[in-house]
Structure 1
Amino acid sequence: MRYGLLAVVLVGAATLGGCTEGVLDPKGPVALAERQILLNALGIMLAIVIPVIVATLGVAFWFRASNARARYRPDFAYSGRLEMLVWSIPAMTVFLVGGVAWVGSHDLSPRKPIASTVKPLRVQVASLDWKWLFIYPDEGVASVNYLAIPVGTPVSFELTSSGVMNSFFVPQLGSQIYTMAGMITRLQLQADHPGSYRGMSAQFSGEGFADMYFNVEAVAPEKFSEWVDTTRNVGAELNAAAYTELAKPSASVAPFTYRAVAPGVFNSIMVSDMQSDDAMCRRDPTSTRAEK
């Protein structure tokens, strides 16, 4: 008995330990709303699953061999009332869960701006092999595998890919979204709490995929301004030559920054003018160039 209780405690601790730094530990309004959708759907399903489990145990107990009061009806074939009950409960579950998901998905449309009195921060994102490039067009700086954002400020992302399809995901901020060559996808996120959050690639994209992570540093607005000022005085300029070097496949790239960004770099990446030959060879030749 003692070892059984210890096993339950250890399994519970291990299970709950996975709830940190993930979708169940939200740090922004989008992730918080997504967790609520998940919990609502779970509650609806448990409202069906638990009674079914109890009813199954109850039926097994009532119709046990030693219960003489249970009626034995070997010729029972059909009951309209029972049939209606059996089908109405799962149908109601599907409608409720589907309704929660449908309403939530429209409320959390990736393109829908986050209501705020603060001007959004614009960030342009390009997924490369195998790293992430973040360009701050209004600040004139860029970073690789590092994303700094001010707390309490909506962040408006424009995302594309230098080659193969990829997926941008910061679990604690919410809303996984794909990056595709020749296209721009849009995403709105916000961090409500200071901290360091792990971002990742959620789409297999080749040999270096396993190390395609980046850090999101949510800091106070004044700290963000200090970071921008410091970045403007460190590193090289992100121009066509620098991008050509950056676009070469490489894994486990340590974060670094660019002090300036040449005009039109992101648009050139999006329309494939600056994609590497290796990335171009792995592209789908039937893909179209359209803004989403």
Structure 2
Amino acid sequence: MRNFVKQIKMLVILGMAFLLSGCKFDVIHPAGYVARQQLILIVICVAVMLCVVIPVMVSVVFLAIKYRASNTAEEYLPDWGHSNKIEAFMWGIPIVIVTVLGALTAYYTYKLEPENPLPVEVVGEGKPLQVDVVALDWKWLFIYPEYNIASVNEIYAPKGRQVLLQLTSESSVNAFWVPKLGTVLYAMPQMNSKLHLIADEQGVFKGTSANYSGDGFAKMRFKWHSVSPQDFENWVAKARSGGQILDRASYRQLSIAPRMGDVAAKEKDAEVRYFSSVESRLYYRIVNRCVDENTVCNEDLMKRAAAQSLWGALCSVFDPGVI
């Protein structure tokens, strides 16, 4: 009976493993330059680590068999306690492995620095498409300053065109992530993080928040549509025909989080919405916490503080020349 139960358990485990094979693992199926470079790093690091793991596992089995209690034919050395060769091997190999992994990680970290533009040989000389991203409770707002439109839970970008994403959050800390395009980056209140991505194939890619942010976190998803330039222009025209205007009042209404347990409100948050026009410098006001009337922007407060201090200069979260 016990053997039968064990066999059933084994079949269940194998069945679960079989079902998992049907799940898509986007990280190992990249659709952009950044994600592809990160996959290369993952593969190299795993291969380097296997250079340690495999010999160790083989050695465990080999030594267990060779020095088992019943094997009396092997040499017995009760007074042996040290070997320079073994010490050099046991310490030298891990040091080399850690050094290699550290060097690889440092190289790719600097190479794929999120706020730096991608290599010209990859993206060409064209101007990147700027998208200002605001993480709300619990939805994503995407503002296109060049086109004066905005969308909720949907982002469109032409295939092969570099995208500059500026990221902030209204309240809680979130993390912007499109697994097939690479790089998870935090979106934080009063901060303006920058991320450069590119999709080199057409498709619809799932995006999500990779940082738990409260009751509606599970629904905080969006879709990245990588399309042809013509389809992108058609989408822009569609958004402009929406009729809704995103100003400070409508933004404040949009930013209200659903009440705990309000399923209907959460479902509405997950819907795609469009805004045909956006109030000037709205993203700037969101970052600087001055959306509401009669509120002084953080950057203005910093200017006053800088003028009265030894700094004498302002430290802004925005780069010169960026919309």
Identify whether the pair has TM-score above 0.5, normalized to the shorter chain.
yes
Q: CA distance change for structure 1 residues 17 and 95 in 2, over 3 Å: closer, same or farther?
A: farther
SS in 2 for 1:23: helix
Q: CA distance change for structure 1 residues 12 and 36 in 2, over 3 Å: closer, same or farther?
A: farther
Residue 64 of structure 1 aligns with which residue? 68
Q: CA distance change for structure 1 residues 232 and 33 in 2, over 3 Å: closer, same or farther?
A: same
1:262 correspondence with 2:279: yes
SS in 1 for 2:80: coil
Q: Distance in 2 between matches of 1:248 and 1:7?
A: 45
Q: Of residues 158, 181, 184 in structure 2, which corresponds to 1:176?
A: 184
Q: CA distance change for structure 1 residues 221 and 185 in 2, over 3 Å: closer, same or farther?
A: same
1:74 correspondence with 2:91: no
Residue 17 of structure 1 aligns with which residue? 22
Q: Distance in 1 between matches of 2:15 and 2:116?
A: 42
Q: What pairs up with 1:153-172 in 2 under 5 angstroms?
A: 153-172=161-180
Aligned partners of 1:142 and 1:261 also within 8 Å: yes
SS in 2 for 1:78: coil
Residue 299 of structure 2 aligns with which residue? none
Aligned partners of 1:247 and 1:275 also within 8 Å: no
Q: Pairwise CA RMSD of aligned residues?
A: 2.2
Q: Distance in 2 between matches of 1:290 and 1:67?
A: 73
Q: Distance in 2 between matches of 1:160 and 1:4?
A: 48
Q: Distance in 2 between matches of 1:15 and 1:86?
A: 37
Q: Distance in 2 between matches of 1:8 and 1:182?
A: 47
- Once the two structures are overlaid, the 10-residue window that deviates more, 259-268 or 62-71, is 62-71
Aligned partners of 1:237 and 1:260 also within 8 Å: yes
Aligned partners of 1:23 and 1:35 also within 8 Å: yes
1:35 correspondence with 2:61: no
Aligned partners of 2:180 and 2:205 also within 8 Å: yes
Aligned partners of 1:269 and 1:275 also within 8 Å: no
Ranges of 4+ aligned residues in structure 1 off by more than 3 Å: 2-18, 65-69
Residue 286 of structure 1 aligns with which residue? none
1:213 correspondence with 2:221: yes
Instruction: For structure 2, list consecutive stretches of 5 or more residues without a partner in the other structure.
Output: 1-6, 259-265, 294-314, 319-323
Amino acid at match of 1:199: G
Residue 48 of structure 1 aligns with which residue? 52
Residue 234 of structure 1 aligns with which residue? 242
Shift of 1:109: 0.5
Amino acid at match of 1:152: G
Residue 281 of structure 1 aligns with which residue? none
Q: Deviations over 1:2-23 (max 9, x none)?
A: 99997797455444434x2521
Q: Distance in 2 between matches of 1:132 and 1:174?
A: 18
Q: Distance in 1 between matches of 2:143 and 2:51?
A: 47
Instruction: For structure 1, list consecutive stretches of 5 or more residues without a partner in the other structure.
Output: 277-288
Aligned partners of 1:162 and 1:275 also within 8 Å: no
Shift of 1:119: 2.5
Q: Distance in 2 between matches of 1:71 and 1:275?
A: 82
Q: CA distance change for structure 1 residues 36 and 14 in 2, over 3 Å: closer, same or farther?
A: farther
| TM-score, length-scaled by structure 2 | 0.80
Aligned partners of 2:248 and 2:292 also within 8 Å: no
Q: Distance in 2 between matches of 1:244 and 1:11?
A: 46
Shift of 1:41: 0.5
Aligned partners of 1:162 and 1:269 also within 8 Å: yes
Shift of 1:199: 0.7
SS in 1 for 2:26: coil
Q: Of residues 212, 230, 236 in structure 2, which corresponds to 1:222?
A: 230
SS in 2 for 1:200: strand
Amino acid at match of 2:81: A
Amino acid at match of 2:172: V
Residue 291 of structure 1 aligns with which residue? 317
Shift of 1:67: 3.4
SS in 2 for 1:123: strand
Aligned partners of 1:21 and 1:172 also within 8 Å: no
Residue 297 of structure 2 aligns with which residue? none
1:90 correspondence with 2:94: yes
* Relative contact order higher in (CA < 8 Å, ≥ 6 apart): 1
Residue 283 of structure 1 aligns with which residue? none
1:244 correspondence with 2:255: no
**Alignment length, in residue pairs?**
278
Q: Deviations over 1:56-115 (max 9, x none)?
A: 111122223443441111111111221111111111111111111111111111012123
